[in-house]
Every structure is written in C-alpha cells, then in structure tokens.
Amino acid sequence: MIDKKLLDEHNLTMEEYEKIVELIGKEPNITELGIFSLMWSEHCSYKSSKVHLKKLPASGKNVIQGPGENAGIIDIGDSLAVVFKIESHNHPSFIEPYQGAATGIGGILRDIFTMGARPIALLDTLRFGPLSKPKNKAIMDGVVSGIAGYGNAMGVPTVGGDVYFNDCYSLNPLVNVFCLGIVEKERIFYARAEGKGNPVLYVGSKTGRDGIHGATMASAEFNQDLEQKRPNVQVGDPFKEKLLLEACLEVMEKDLIVGIQDMGAAGLTCSTSEMAANSGTGIEIDLDLVPQREEGMTPYEIMLSESQERMLIVAKKEKVEEVQKIFAKWDLDAIIIGHVDEGGRLKVKAGGGIVVDLPVDAIINLCPVYKRELKEPAYIKQETQLDSIPIPENFNQTLLKLLSSPTIANKEWVYRQYDHMVRINTAFLPGADASLLKIKNTKKALAITLDGNSLYSYLDPRIGGKIAVAEACRNLACVGARPIGVTNCLNFGNPEKPEIMWQFAEAIDGIAQACRIFEIPVTGGNVSFYNDTEGVSIFPTPVLGVVGMVDDVAKAVSPGFKVDEDTVVLLGENREELGASEYLKCLFALEKGTPPQIDLEEEKRVHEVCIAAASQGILQSAHDVSEGGLAVCLAESSFLSEEKIGLNVDLQDEMRTDMLLFGETQSRIVVTVKSHDLQRLIELARKKKVKATPIGSTCGKRIIISHNNQRIVDLTVEEAYRAWKDAIPEIFNIK
C-alpha cells in the first residue's frame, strides 16, 4: 500500500504521486514507484533548475552536441571533436571520502567514453572546510587519495583543477570532476535503442545492493543519520572500468552497435528508459538474466542499484556474437538481457512475470517542472564599511601570509598524488593558469581550466557567475588559448528555499550573460542542489569548466618569468576594490564587502590583447590577477618558473596601498615582454582600448614592489616561494 510515509521515503510529494497515477493510468507497484523516485529526483530530472538553465546559450557553429546527452561535443577540426562534461560527487564524498571521490571519477569517465571518446584529461574542483579542523583534513586526504586511486589506475591524467577552503564546506565538501575526451567526428555514439528486435546487452560488473537510492540521496538535505547513508555510497573498481573502457572503444571502432549508455546514477532504470525515450522505442528486459553479485535481490533492488562499472549496449542483431567476443577478450561478460521493442514502454520481467510496465515518456519527459519561488536573502542588503580596516604596517609579512593561505598556496601536495603525465600530452604541468594538452599529430593544443570563487557568488551571485566565466577565459587567454566551449557544475543549497533559488537564478543570469559576450556555448553540465547539512547551506558555488584551443602549441605561454631584464607590463586597470578578497578573509576574518565589479566587454578586450600577443610570439610570460591580488600575482610569476627570477616594479596609482596590492579587481593580466617588443604590445593594447602599463622589470632574486616610488615589499624570491610551497605539506605534516 502506498502511503505518505512510503512517498517520503522515496522523496516524492503527494502531488507528484497523483501525477504519476494519472500518467500511467494505474497505481504503481513498489518497483515502479522506485523507478519514478529516481527518475523524478532533482538529480535526474532537473525539475527545479530547468526553467533557468534554458537561459544559457547552447548553440554555436562548432557545437556537435549541446546539453541533454552524457556530455557536450565541440568540433575542433582535423576530423576530431572534444567531448567534455563536469559532474558533482559531493554527498558521497562527505560520507565516504575515498570511495565517494573515486566513483565520481569512474562516473565522469563513463560519461565520456560512452560517446566513443578516449578520455585524455581529468580535472577537479575541490572545496573543503578549513584545514585547522582535523575532520576536514581527513576528508581532503581521502578525497585526493580516491581521485588518485581511480584516475591513476585508469591511465587518464589528472592535469589540473582548483582547491578552495571555506568554513561553509566543513559539513558539505564539494567534489566536482571534469573529464575531456577526444573522438573522431565520424565515430560518435549516443544513448539510442533503435531497431526492433536488436539485442540489449548488459556489460561490466555484476549488480549488487550498493548505491541503492544514490540519486535520491543527492536530492535531499543531510542530517545526523549520515552514518546510516554509508551503504548508499558505491565502491569503485578502476581495473574493471579500465577493461570496460578498452572493450567499449574496441566495439565502437568496429561499428557493431547501435547505441550505448552507462549505468551511473539510477543504474539500469535510467539507462533503459533513457535509451528508449531518446529513440521513441521501448525496451523489454528480463532481470533473471542480469548478472548479480548477491543472492535474493528483489526487482526493486536490481532496478535501483547503482553498482559501478556497468554499461548497457544495444547491438546490431547480426553483430552480437562479435560484440561478445570482444568483451570476452577483455575478460568481461556481455549478457543479452532483453531487446528493443516498439510501443514506447519499459517492460521488465522477473521470475516469469511482468514486474514493471511503464510508458518511458512518463519516466523521462513528463516529470513536473517547477518554477520555484525566488527571494533575495536578507544578507545581500547589508552594508559593509571597509574604511575602518587598518592598513598593514609590514607588507612583506602580509604578502607572506597570503601566499601561505591554503586557498592561494601551492597545491603540489595534491596534484603530485595524481598521475598528470600519462598519455604523454601534458605540455604544462599543473599549476599554470590553464592545463595544456597537445593533440598528437597536429600542432594544436587544448587548454582547460576550472574556476569558481564562491565568496563572490555568496555576496553577489550574478557577479560571481560572471566572474567565474571571465576568470576561466582569462586563464585561457594567459596561455594563449581562445575559449571554445563551457560546461558548468552548479552547486547550491536546498532549492525549495526561495533564497537559494534566488541565488541560483542570479548566478545563471550572470553566467549566461558572460557566455554570450565571450561567444562560448554551454554544452551541458550538472546541477547539484541540497548542499545543506543540518539546515546550513554552502555558499552558492557555480564552477565553470572552460575548454580552449591553441593553434600552435609552440606559442603557448606559461606564467613564470623567463629571464632577467624583461619588461613587466600590467594589462588592465587597478581600481579601488577590496571587498570579498582573500586579504580581508585571511587577515581580518571578514567575508564581506562588495565583490569586484566587472565590465565583460573590457574583460574580453584584455583577453584579445593577450591572445594576439601570444600568437605573435612576443609574450615571455602571462599570469592572471585573481585571489590575493596584484602582489600575489607578481610573486607567483617570479617563482612559477624553474629559474625563479625576481622583479622590481613601481605602481603609480593613487589609492590605499593594501587595495592596490591585494584588491581583486578583475580584467587584469601581468605579462612580460622583451624590451624591444614593448612597443608592439602597447600598440596591440591601444587598438583594443586596453590599458597597458609598464610597471618594472624582471631581475635578480628579490621581489621588490614600490608604490609611488616608496618601497613597500622587499623579499627574497626564495622566502616567498617557501611560504607558498610549504604551507599545505606542513598542515598535513607529510612532505
């Protein structure tokens, strides 16, 4: 009997239940109810976000696949395309950091190779609570190990990403994983179940009781019974996935199949109904044929299991033996569990009887869409007076403190646990403004970056959204790449709260506007709501993953100074802004103020100057100004090269010295040029109406910064480097 309690357990409202009954013309049985609870969950249906996501620009002349499939696809020429996507695995990573993060990697990899692409790069955005709390250290250690454990064994390099720390993530860390693959344009595969009578094959690991209701778990707030949720987290087997990857790509190369879909969130339920719905067909499967790891599993459990490393394939009828042979070569089962049917229904048999008979359209396409109430949160209107902030007496100490703040400090402790070089495409090691991967047999390279400053988004979600896009594109511009496509991971709190929904709508508006101005299509992404624990929401955290292209990899630009006596030039303007800065947070424990303002047109012109200068080969280095401001940018530029070259600059701006050094005004890039190329750069900038100010030169082994001829920072490069480099290893006490 279906009652309120049972519906609550399935995260369905009474109204939703009534709609289900109306759509399917009967009372669902328990297995059918389970299917709806998964597919109508926020995680699978996007029911609260759909109306807003529509605002994101999704088209462009190189878009092969926009939102709605496993991943987006962009044409990159040379008969090749890139397939990329970002996904969250936040809740599982809090409950069980190692496996939660590991299976996140497994899932995003499957999203990419399901489409026929060979994954060549992983990146992750990680957000943790402050490392002063042991629990946060344990979570970070587990998450990093989990990503390493899975990604390394798969032979896919983890080439970049970012890590931020804020107390709002103490009970709700974020693990957003991005993957990019390369595919020949003629060999892209989709989740299709076409051709009546074509066999449906189950391949990969056996089904167990793990992960039942994972998608539903990701669609509700957390409370104190988290420990009980542990069985909802799946356990990863990267070896099995590696075999699955090789076998699937081999089958695809030989043109033996019609369609393929991974069994990720919502497992067999999602893959069968999606494939049928996408093709306007039906699917009939027999659960007695599904390989099972445990005894006595009910149809409900088999349909809802989220066991990892499984795929569903619709093969060409006459090629099925060949498919099975290839899987056998890789020591994997490929079992026929059913066939494609007409009539648009999902029919599931078990024990000789029918246990599910539902219209796939109702499962996939007819979930209610909510236009939830929006309300500006009260905190937005609070005024913050920053005039009372004292100006530091010792700027050397202030700079060292910022360089050792975990958000700014070197993340080598993290990325050296990841194999970031396998597949031998990694032209820039992690730590550059963007990751750079050469494309074999061409002169081109792909640049990738993930960005998202959640403090900006908290204080002004619209600006936060714009800046996330702008900073990602700025990072690409620094290496000399122009952006070609975007994916986003939108991490927010409970969408049933109007204040959260307001944050979401504002952030989307900001992202949409920025993507339009930068002319980049959003080809998909992921929404992660319900990032609240015990009623406390995280800061709204939209994370942007932007992919860019460098036409000649030999001309790509890295952030570190190269030689003595180059001219240091600031592109863009310094403004009197200090709000929402890492400086205020780090020195005064203030997470307040107005985030930096941004003029997207100006920002775009700065990028154009940088990209043009890079393509003319006149940039020796380029590094963007972001968290920690100009002073941190200059210090990093000095030690981000092996040579570790110092600098002597003088900043001539009338403003508070701390604003000038540590304010996070946008649209600024620090570049170096040979002195004989300076005029060319200034000319390029003038044409684009971008301010280009020579501020000094590279030299020696000291970082010397003056403000209006008065020396305010004077440190050895080594001192600054150690502060930045040793901060995180010292916290973990493991070098």
Partner 1 sequence: MKFGVVIFPGSNCDYDTFYVLKSILKQDTTFLWHKEHDLKNVDCVILPGGFSYGDYLRSGAIAKFSPLMQEVKGFALNGGLVLGICNGFQVLMELGLLPGAMLRNKNLKFLCQFVHIRLENDQIPFTNSGKKGQVLKIPIAHFDGNYCASPETIQKIEKNNQIIFRYSDVKGQYSEEANVNGSMESIAGISNETGNVMGMMPHPERASEALLGSEDGKIIFQSIINRVR
**Paired tokens of 154:** 């798969």
Strand partners, 127: 164, 174
Q: Which stretch binds partner 1 (CB under 8 A): 146-154, 207-215, 464-472, 505-513?
A: 146-154
Query: Taking the CB of residue 260, how many other CB atoms lie within 10 A of it?
Result: 27
- Verify binding: residue 426, partner 1, rule CB under 8 A: yes
Helix (H), strand (E) at residue 149: helix 134-154
Count of residues near partner 1 by CB under 8 A: 35
Residues 4-23 touching partner 1, rule: CB under 8 A, are none
Q: How would you label 142-165 residue by residue, b for 16+ Cβ within 10 Å and e otherwise?
A: bbbebbbbbbbbbebbbbbbbbbb
- Verify binding: residue 314, partner 1, rule CB under 8 A: no
**Paired tokens of 459:** 């204080």
Query: Taking the CB of residue 687, how many other CB atoms lie within 10 A of it?
Result: 12
By beta-carbon proximity to partner 1, the closer residue of 242 and 497 is 242
**282-286 and 345-350 beta bridge pairing:** parallel
By beta-carbon proximity to partner 1, the closer residue of 289 and 429 is 429
- Verify binding: residue 80, partner 1, rule CB under 8 A: no
Given candidates 421, 535, 576, 616, which one binds partner 1 under the rule CB under 8 A? 421
- Verify binding: residue 328, partner 1, rule CB under 8 A: no
Given candidates 396, 417, 594, 615, which one binds partner 1 under the rule CB under 8 A? 417
Q: Which stretch binds partner 1 (CB under 8 A): 160-168, 355-363, 419-427, 692-700?
A: 419-427
Helix (H), strand (E) at residue 621: strand 621-624
Q: What secondary structure, in 3-state letters, does 50-104 show?
A: HHHHCCCCCCCCCEEECECECCEEEEEECCEEEEEEEEECHHHHHHCHHHHHHHH
With a CB cutoff of 8 Å and minimum separation 6, the contacts of 388 are none
By beta-carbon proximity to partner 1, the closer residue of 583 and 721 is 721
Given candidates 152, 398, 528, 541, which one binds partner 1 under the rule CB under 8 A? 152
Dihedral (Cα; 313, 318, 319, 325), 10-degree rounding:
100
Type of residue found at 593 = G
By beta-carbon proximity to partner 1, the closer residue of 156 and 587 is 156
By beta-carbon proximity to partner 1, the closer residue of 244 and 258 is 244
Q: Which stretch binds partner 1 (CB under 8 A): 23-31, 352-360, 415-423, 446-454?
A: 415-423
- Verify binding: residue 422, partner 1, rule CB under 8 A: yes
Distance of CA 685 to the CA centre of its chain: 32
CB 486 within 8 A of CB 67: no
Given candidates 21, 138, 369, 554, which one binds partner 1 under the rule CB under 8 A? 554
Per-residue interface string for the shown chain with partner 1, residues 198-237, x marking contact by CB under 8 A: ---------------------------------------x
- Verify binding: residue 153, partner 1, rule CB under 8 A: yes
Tell me the closest approach of the beta carbon of residue 420 to partner 1, in angstroms.
6
- Verify binding: residue 411, partner 1, rule CB under 8 A: no
Given candidates 155, 195, 344, 498, which one binds partner 1 under the rule CB under 8 A? 155
Per-residue interface string for the shown chain with partner 1, residues 432-471, x marking contact by CB under 8 A: ------x-x-------------------------------
With a CB cutoff of 8 Å and minimum separation 6, the contacts of 55 are 508, 509, 512
Type of residue found at 522 = V
By beta-carbon proximity to partner 1, the closer residue of 434 and 489 is 434
By beta-carbon proximity to partner 1, the closer residue of 191 and 645 is 645
Inter-CA distances, 412 with 160, 409, 430, 453, Å: 10, 9, 8, 20
DSSP of 456-484: HHHH-HHHHHHHHHHHHHHHHHHHT-EEE
Per-residue interface string for the shown chain with partner 1, residues 672-701, x marking contact by CB under 8 A: ------------------------------
Tell me the closest approach of the beta carbon of residue 580 to partner 1, in angstroms.
34
Given candidates 258, 427, 611, 695, which one binds partner 1 under the rule CB under 8 A? 427
Residues 235-274 touching partner 1, rule: CB under 8 A, are 237-240, 242-243
- Verify binding: residue 154, partner 1, rule CB under 8 A: yes
Tell me the closest approach of the beta carbon of residue 242 to partner 1, in angstroms.
6
Distance of alpha carbon 81 from alpha carbon 65, whole angstroms: 10
Tell me the closest approach of the beta carbon of residue 418 to partner 1, in angstroms.
6
Distance of CA 693 to the CA centre of its chain: 34
CB 548 within 8 A of CB 447: yes
- Residues designated catalytic: 43, 89
Distance of alpha carbon 535 from alpha carbon 491, whole angstroms: 16
Tell me the closest approach of the beta carbon of residue 405 to partner 1, in angstroms.
23
By beta-carbon proximity to partner 1, the closer residue of 192 and 725 is 725
Residues 639-658 touching partner 1, rule: CB under 8 A, are none
Using DSSP, state whether 713 is helix, strand or coil.
strand
By beta-carbon proximity to partner 1, the closer residue of 14 and 421 is 421
**Sheet with 435-438: strands ordered across:** 426-428, 435-438, 445-451, 541-550, 482-491, 522-528
- Verify binding: residue 423, partner 1, rule CB under 8 A: yes
CB 173 within 8 A of CB 146: no
- Verify binding: residue 330, partner 1, rule CB under 8 A: yes
Give me the residues that bind partner 1 (CB under 8 A), please. 145, 148-149, 152-155, 237-240, 242-243, 330-331, 412, 415-424, 426-427, 429, 438, 440, 553-554, 734-735
